[in-house]
Amino acid sequence: MPNHGLSKVPFLVKGLLDWMAEANLTPYLIVNTRVEGVSVPEAFAQPDGTITLNIGGDAVRGFQLESEGIYFSSRFQGNAYSIVVPTAAILGLVSRETAEGLWFSEHVNPSSGEQDDLSEPEKSGARSSDDMPVKPKLSLVTPIKKD
């Protein structure tokens, strides 16, 4: 079934944000800063081209979630910034407290399994694997029939 160019990411982000608000969790948005149109304070980006943004209600002003992206104002070391995150730059949304959330596979290069335009964090030295939330792996389990 074709998606007619409509990304599912903004809809999933909205659902996750609603769930995190209900559960009193802090939403962290993981962004690929190398995507065209991203506007974030470059000094806070990791060497691998990512930045993690706290988008909780206390951390942002003027939050807008639209099909084209996420827009808000935030402060970094006391300085105000207007943040623009195009939908294509959203790598994931996870909670600070539990690391539960989603990583968006449509923004990962399918041939390599890596994020578009990004080196692996372990190779860049930006983060250790202990710092990165683990992606869950699902498998189909069939029930055992008892005779």
DSSP 107: G
For 39, the token pair is 């506007």
Indicate the CATH number for domain 9-123.
2.30.30.220
Closest CA to 126 of 59, 27, 33: 33
DSSP 81: E
Domains of the chain, residue spans: 9-123
What local confidence, expressed as pLDDT, does residue 129 receive?
Answer: 40
Q: How far apart are CA 62 and CA 70, in angstroms?
A: 10
Average pLDDT by stretches of 10, the chain with 147 residues: 76 96 96 96 94 95 96 95 97 95 71 41 36 50 59
Query: Following CA atoms 11, 13, 16, 17 in sequence, which dihedral angle do they give, to the nearest 10 degrees?
Result: -110
Q: What is the pTM of this model?
A: 0.71
